Amino acid sequence: MLDINLLRKDLPGVIARLEKRKSPQPFLDVDRFTSLESERKTIQTRTEELQALRNSLSKQIGQLKSKGEDTAPVMAQVGGIGDELKASVERLEVIQAELSNLLMAVPNLPHDSVPAGADENANVEVRRWGTPRELGFEPKDHVDLGAPLGLDFDTGTKLSGSRFSFLRGPVAKLHRALAQFMLDTQTGEHGYTECYTPYIVNREILEGTGQLPKFKDQMFWVYRGEESEGGEAVAAGSEQYLISTSEISLTNTVRESVLAADALPIKLTAHSPCFRSEAGSAGRDTRGMIRQHQFDKVEMVQVVNPETSYDALEEMTRHAEAILQKLGLPYRVVALCTGDLGFGSTKTYDLEVWLPAQKMYREISSCSNCEAFQARRMQARFKNAQGKNELVHTLNGSGLAVGRALVAVLENYQNADGSITIPEVLRPYFGGKELLKA
């Protein structure tokens, strides 16, 4: 959530920065915001006047009592002020709630270093690593390569519908090995603390990281049932959601907290399934594992002092790159433009891995700095050097998307006979085995 004081001080400047995002819809109902702010100021001014008047009258009552004079008229006046004050406080609460609801739908402001542009075509390549391997034969895609190894989309569809997969045998082991390798690297080499988080969270947790209210239609959500006297399950009205990333649960661990300055940075990682009901437009990436309603990811989260958050973003991006480098997978780093930034991000780097069958780079990680956007929603603070409570900055990144890493390994390490050479760093998870065969 944006700082409302920033809008109060420089509304045109905030709107100008938001418009860099190039959304076809306005981010903020300016007329409604201005109207509510005007009413808030009027009521607040009147409230302060009433409080001052009540204090003055209360002193008069004391003076009248000391003189033995009648206080009834003044007390009646104080009673009237109390009624008006109560009404003002109630209206202020309504206005504050409406302002908060307006701001919940407003995205973060792009950092000045983010390249300007309307969509992904304006993203800027920062660097590349590795050279795509010359296979010497026409590459197969991961669907054809994975089928003999246990990658089964038919069973996934039978169990859950389209965009679900079922893994068995060698390909299931490869998926597990990739996740284990990622966790081992992030914890053993990069200083993250491994976590295991709930996969179902409450509504306010998603509000804290910005998935709600804007992206409700892209979430899987349920009502918790409770057992009635008759033994039948009924909705308890407790709205809960399956996480779309463990960023949600990891970041919210500092919700409503005041941290000691020396507790920062906090670096957390977790391997979890991720659930997204809107996994891309129809007709695009519907074949295979690129866009699934359920997929696994090893997530990185950092909670840091605001002074170091952009250094932390560079560090986190390198931590994601390290996984690809150890796996020997060619990739490129791309700085997202203003029109392609995520809702809560001020700056984002995407890592795109080379896929031989598609002959192109495809996203496998996003690393973002959210500055205080999420912290303000969560009320996550720390004691700064002046001893005052200050909002932390939060960052998140994929380290990496496990399913897409599996796709990349299958395609980049395929052999002409359909076998897959196991990347050297993964061989310890296979007892030293060098090849995956049907």
Binding-site residues, in ranges, read 245-247, 276-278, 299, 363-366, 396, 398
For the annotated binding site for L-serine, the residues are 245-247, 276, 299, 396, 398
Q: Work out the burial of residue 229: count CB atoms within 10 Å of its CB; fewer than 13 is exposed, 13-18 middle, 19 or more buried.
A: exposed
- Given the residues 176, 363, 390, 427, select the one marked as catalytic: 363
- Give 343's strand partners: none
Residue 23: active-site member: no
Alpha-carbon Rg of the chain, whole angstroms?
Answer: 28
Q: Three-state DSSP class for 79?
A: helix
- Given the residues 21, 291, 376, 381, select the one marked as catalytic: 291
Residue 371: active-site member: no
For 363, left (φ over 0), alpha (ψ -120 to 50), or beta?
Answer: beta
Residue 91: active-site member: no
Cα 112 to Cα 364: distance, rounded to the nearest angstrom = 25
Give me the count of residues in the chain.
438
| Cβ neighbours of residue 130 closer than 8 Å, sequence gap 6 or more | 324, 325, 328, 329, 330, 331, 354
- Given the residues 321, 368, 404, 411, select the one marked as catalytic: 404
Instruction: Report the alpha-carbon angle 309-313-317, nearest 5.
Output: 165
For the annotated binding site for ATP, the residues are 276-278, 363-366
- Given the residues 88, 345, 366, 368, select the one marked as catalytic: 366
Cα 336 to Cα 332: distance, rounded to the nearest angstrom = 12
Closest Cα partner for 252 from 203, 305, 215?
A: 203
- Given the residues 21, 163, 276, 381, select the one marked as catalytic: 276
- Which strands form 294-304's sheet, in the order they lie side by side? 124-129, 331-335, 347-355, 360-369, 393-401, 294-304, 266-275, 193-195
Question: From the CB of residue 121, how many other CB atoms can be counted at a distance below 10 Å?
Answer: 9
Question: From the CB of residue 64, how many other CB atoms can be counted at a distance below 10 Å?
Answer: 16
Residue 315: active-site member: no
Residue 366: active-site member: yes
- Residue 29 sits at φ, ψ, to 5 deg, of -75, 90
* Residue 273, H or E segment: strand 266-275
Residues acting as catalytic residues: 276, 291, 363, 366, 404
